[in-house]
């Protein structure tokens, strides 16, 4: 006589099978990661580029990565590589807008960024705010380029480590090579290129950058 399992037993057995499969896949992933650590390090290293410093008209600080991008830009300003710093003023997060309506005052990201610069010795008169509502790196760099007075002058672009290669490529795309990008990575950025695959957020950074690079090389078929 064939045995008949109850629905509960079938459900438990299916769950156990899924957990075993998940554990197996996780184990395989870990083995691959540790067996190919040099390859994984190269994957992250490809994304990180830096250019030799030369005097520039402006330091452009891309939005995000506070306070590490601001710290790097302030260091470059104090060293005399440029006489002004341009930072992004965004439209504010939905959460901040909702809190303001409730009468709870919170600092916007651009206000925190400004305060970091002032604390690090960048005078207010050397700071320039550029309003940027929404979009990705392409739209952000277009907006920054449109605001420049000297459009053919070199600029220093400060961003996070894994974002440097794409920032350089996108700036050349936006300016059609008219303005030399001097791309610098925030030295305090906590991203770990030698073991990025061990932290979920770093894995997400790397995957995002490679997907964005594919979009770039394909001619931006997907709006950034």
The string of pLDDT tens digits covering residues 117-156 is 999 999 999 999 998 877 789 999 999 999 999 999 999 9
User: Do 24 and 69 lie in a common domain?
Assistant: no
| Residue 142 within a domain | yes
The domain tally of the chain equals 2
Please report the pLDDT score of residue 3 as a whole number. Answer: 46
CB within 8 A of 224, min separation 6: which ones?
135, 136, 137, 138, 139, 212, 215
User: Do 31 and 101 lie in a common domain?
Assistant: no
User: Do 118 and 139 lie in a common domain?
Assistant: yes
User: Do 66 and 151 lie in a common domain?
Assistant: yes
User: Do 58 and 98 lie in a common domain?
Assistant: yes
What 3-state class would DSSP assign to 151?
A: coil
User: Do 31 and 86 lie in a common domain?
Assistant: no
User: Do 19 and 53 lie in a common domain?
Assistant: no
Residue 116: closest CA among 67, 165, 81: 67
Whether 24 has a pLDDT exceeding 90, the answer reads: no
Q: Please compute the mean of the pLDDT values over residues 65-90 and round it to a whole number.
A: 95
User: Do 30 and 124 lie in a common domain?
Assistant: no
pLDDT band of 1, cuts 50, 70, 90: very low
CATH number of the domain at 153, please: 3.40.50.620
Q: What is the span of the domain harbouring residue 73? A: 47-217
Q: Contact, 79 vs 182, CB < 8 A?
A: no
| Residue 41 within a domain | no
pTM of the model: 0.81
User: Do 12 and 102 lie in a common domain?
Assistant: no
Q: How far apart are CA 180 and CA 154, in angstroms?
A: 4
Whether 20 has a pLDDT exceeding 60, the answer reads: no
């Amino acid at each position: 006589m064939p045995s008949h399992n109850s629905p509960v037993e079938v459900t438990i057995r299916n769950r156990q099978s899924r957990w075993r499969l998940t554990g197996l896949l996780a184990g395989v992933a870990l083995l691959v990661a540790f067996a190919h650590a040099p390859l994984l390090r190269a994957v992250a290293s490809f994304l990180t580029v830096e250019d030799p410093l030369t005097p520039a008209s402006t330091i452009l600080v891309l939005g995000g990565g506070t306070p590490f991008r601001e710290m790097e830009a302030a260091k470059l300003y104090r060293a005399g590589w440029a006489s002004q710093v341009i930072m992004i003023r965004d439209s504010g997060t939905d959460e901040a807008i909702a809190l303001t309506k409730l009468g709870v005052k919170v600092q916007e990201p651009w206000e925190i960024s400004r305060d970091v610069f002032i604390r690090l010795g960048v005078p207010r008169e050397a700071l320039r705010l550029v309003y940027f509502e929404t979009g990705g790196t392409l739209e952000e760099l277009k907006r920054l380029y449109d605001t420049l007075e000297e459009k053919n002058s070199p600029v220093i672009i400060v961003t996070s480590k894994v974002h440097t290669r794409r920032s350089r490529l996108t700036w050349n795309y936006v300016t059609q090579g008219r303005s030399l990008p001097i791309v610098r990575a925030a030295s305090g950025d906590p991203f770990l290129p030698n073991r990025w695959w061990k932290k979920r957020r770093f894995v997400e950074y790397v995957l995002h950058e490679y997907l964005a690079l594919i979009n770039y090389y394909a001619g931006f078929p997907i709006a950034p």
